[in-house]
Amino acid sequence: MSGGPIWEVAVPVPLRRVFSYEIPASLGKPEPGARVLVPFGRRRMTGVLLGPSRALPAELAVKPAIALLDDAPALPEDLLGLLREAAAYYMHPLGEVLRAALPAGTDVVERGKRLAKPRISGRLERIVLPTAEAASALEALVRRAPARAAVLQRVVDLGEVPMSELRAVRADASGQVRRLEADGLVAILERDRPPDPFLTTIVARDVPPVLTAEQAVAVAAISARLERGGYEGFLLHGVTGSGKTEVYLRAVDKARELGRGALVLVPEIALTPQLVERYRARFGDALAVLHSGLTERERFEQWRLLRSGRVHVAVGVRSAVFAPVERLGIVVVDEEHDGSFKQERGFAYNARDLALLRAARAPAVAVLGSATPSLESHRNAGLGKLTRLVLAARATAQPLPEVDIVDLTRHRFGPGGQNVVSGPLYAAIEETLQRGEQVILFLNRRGFAPGLLCTACGEVRKCSFCAVSLTLHRRPPGLVCHYCGAREPIPERCGACASPDIEPVGTGTQRAETVLADLFPNARIARLDRDVASGRSAEAVLDRLRRREIDILVGTQMVTKGHDFPLVTLVGVLLADVGLHMPDFRAAERSFQLLTQVAGRAGRALRSGKAIIQTYSPTHPAVLLARTHDFLSFAAAEAAEREELGYPPFGRLALVRVSGPDAGRAEAAARDIAASLRASWQRLGRPPVSVLGPAQAPLAFVQGRHRFRVLVRSPSHDLLGKVLEPALPFFESPPAGVHVRLDMDPMSML
């Protein structure tokens, strides 16, 4: 050893500990947050320096680091502190947490016997094409490798597909494409990628509008806190169309005026283009945009603009909460209730909660905005942890849309005998089109029909790899699993009884589009869901609606959030019951939020709007109170039920998810974990913590893996952590073939 200082290093491995390495003086001066190349077993890995090691046993052999990789730390001090706290809170390996906060291109990897930075894709994009043998090989591939077959089917159906779009649909698409290429079933070519439209289109500078009285009060409160400095969290509770974005713009402008940086989070990429355009119109191009639709090089360049201090405003989706904004003054979380702020894979963080933590640590101002706040944020405002600011009226002169409920038990069939568009909704669409106005119809089911039913024996065709029914698609034709992507040809006979009497059951967006074309032959109809659009192509569809090239747009949640279309005066919910009765304690809350948000797309400009909700559950509180836009009554009723059961926001949850290809092995592992947790509970003196399970997950079989779960419920996070601590070794070294994952504060119970 050369006698250099010993530092703690976080290495991106699934182990909940850090490692000590000597930093030879010849490498330079180490700094916390800087990247370092270290030997790890037989590999060399990129870690992050944390700080000098505490006293080590004299007999412990410490290896020297190989290289320091940064002149200035990749993770600034404030962000490094946030990430360390987040790793402790979510009980996730620190090395993996730090890697999640860094963009592609910051790792150094081994290639053979040499070290290199990974290639960062730039203006060239990779296109996947089917070969002549692809179509004929599909049937055999479905049986042998269904995941690979699903990718190949999409390539065959579309003719050519950008690799980025395949990855947006399937996380394992890159690996599947490599195997398909090796089998001679696809070819890959590279061509110039069009530039990112979010930052290359010309946007005229705007003139800030006159604020409403309520907006002025909100802006004044936020600005006053920015001037005083320090942390304060605000809940901006504004009805749909009340002008929350204008409040955000004024607050960000105030932060910039004070020489501070700003971070704005939005839930989905579909919201990003319109929002970025608003920010560019106000502030020019002095902002960074961070979202999944960018190439790796584009994301890296945006990150570098922020890290260098050349840009001080960042707008982006969930992962932008880690953006290295200097001198952070304000953090905005738009649509804070949205579930997409929760990362479901790997490091399972909630970006909304981390945004509050980041603001508190800065210290900076945090603004959470929503027309339908989460019950957690609503309660925090009631407890004084957030300052509530209310925008009770729309920014225009128009009132909130009138909402009618259509009882589908009474209106079972509409014109032509179909059961998609009821008579009242049909009449409203016809009147709207006659006035030259536009319609949005929402249905949270893609495909043609959610199932294929044999009317002779009652068999529903199910996925061989997931415990769910296969969805019927007409364009392109096939049965598709929306969980694993497996695809099968549409059968002519029932697989159970060989009867030819098989028919679609239920309705998806494809069928709705077909029915609408029959009912309104002169209308221009378009569909927006993941089957036809993702990322940039989604914005193209929305642009057509803005240009009045579409009369009726039918789609999934992509049509419901954050969009302003002046001539959309009618919104219809084709089936409000989708999701209303899911086995999840948040089902009613999500349904209320969704119905309120989609109704809010109507009448946002100078013309009044109307919404029609079709449902088989017309007396359900989530439906009745969405009709009157009555959030406070819904929140009070829902909170009373949650408090009685000890569910959030009145308790804390941790969900241990266990899965494996062998059901017995996975269930045994879940039993062992539950036993360990109960033993921990006993040792702690039986605190008020419940360990429930193990139980089979509601979706018991997904992607060829049997799924079990153990739920831990506690009145506080501290107690939760104490009970969970002894089970952490199970997560790091589960039985062979078994995957164990800890989800703190889970958003989905499925």
Fold entry, domain 402-446+507-641: Rossmann fold (3.40.50)
User: Where in the chain do CATH 3.40.50.300 domains reside?
Assistant: 198-391, 402-446+507-641
pLDDT digits (tens, 9 = 90+) for 3-18: 788 999 999 999 999 9
Q: Where are the alpha helices (DSSP H) in 60-212?
A: 77-90, 94-100, 134-144, 146-158, 163-169, 173-182, 197-200
H or E element that contains 189: strand 186-192
pTM (2 d.p.) = 0.85
pLDDT digits (tens, 9 = 90+) for 13-56: 999 999 999 999 888 889 999 999 999 888 888 999 999 987 77
What is the Cα 341 distance to its own chain's centre? Answer: 5
Those residues whose C-beta lies under 8 Å from the C-beta of residue 122, and which sit 6 or more positions away, are 193, 295, 296, 297, 298
User: Closest Cα to residue 579, out of 570, 592, 567?
Assistant: 592
Please report the pLDDT score of residue 1 as a whole number.
44
The domain over range 652-744 is classified in CATH as 3.30.420.40: no
Secondary structure letter of residue 204 according to DSSP: P
User: Where in the chain do CATH 3.40.1440.60 domains reside?
Assistant: 6-116
Owner of token pair 């190349």: 37
User: Tokens in use for 9?
Assistant: 């290093």
Side-chain half-sphere CA neighbours of 731 within 13 A: 22
Decide if pLDDT at 546 tops 80: yes
pLDDT digits (tens, 9 = 90+) for 578-595: 888 888 899 999 999 999
Question: Dihedral of CA 665/670/675/679: which sign?
Answer: positive
Q: CA-CA distance, 670 to 667, in Å (whole number)?
A: 5
User: Closest Cα to residue 221, out of 366, 38, 345?
Assistant: 366
- For residue 300, the SS3 value is helix
Q: How confident is the model at residue 117 (pLDDT cuts 50, 70, 90)?
A: low
What superfamily does domain 198-391 belong to in CATH? P-loop containing nucleotide triphosphate hydrolases (3.40.50.300)
8 A C-beta contact, residue 719 and residue 687: yes
Please report the pLDDT score of residue 150 as a whole number.
82
Please report the pLDDT score of residue 324 as a whole number.
94
Lowest mean pLDDT segment, chosen from 72-81, 163-172, 520-529, 542-551: 163-172
pLDDT digits (tens, 9 = 90+) for 447-460: 888 888 888 888 88
Lowest mean pLDDT segment, chosen from 73-82, 261-270, 733-742: 261-270
Task: For 52, list phi and psi in degrees, rounded to 5.
Answer: -60, 140
Decide if pLDDT at 108 tops 70: no
Decide if pLDDT at 203 tops 80: no
8 A C-beta contact, residue 117 and residue 108: yes
Beta strands in 462-564 (DSSP E): 471-474, 477-480, 487-488, 502-505, 525-528, 552-555
Looking at per-residue pLDDT, the higher value among 321 and 536 belongs to 321
pLDDT digits (tens, 9 = 90+) for 628-653: 999 999 999 999 999 999 999 999 99
Lowest mean pLDDT segment, chosen from 18-22, 508-512, 543-547: 543-547
User: Where in the chain do CATH 3.30.70.600 domains reside?
Assistant: 652-744
User: What are the C-alpha distances in Å from 96 to residues 56, 100, 170, 303?
Assistant: 24, 6, 21, 19
Please report the pLDDT score of residue 474 as a whole number.
80
Lowest mean pLDDT segment, chosen from 102-116, 179-193, 398-412: 102-116
Task: Please give the radius of gyration of the chain, using alpha carbons only, rounded to the nearest integer.
Answer: 27
Pairing between strand 438-442 and 6-10? unpaired
8 A C-beta contact, residue 22 and residue 5: yes
Average pLDDT of the chain is 87
8 A C-beta contact, residue 582 and residue 588: no
Mean per-residue pLDDT, 179-189: 86
The percent of residues above 90 in pLDDT, for the chain, comes to: 52
What superfamily does domain 6-116 belong to in CATH? PriA, 3(prime) DNA-binding domain (3.40.1440.60)
H or E element that contains 693: strand 690-702
Looking at per-residue pLDDT, the higher value among 598 and 485 belongs to 598
User: Tokens in use for 312?
Assistant: 């001080």
pLDDT digits (tens, 9 = 90+) for 334-388: 999 999 999 988 899 999 999 999 999 999 999 999 999 999 999 999 999 999 9
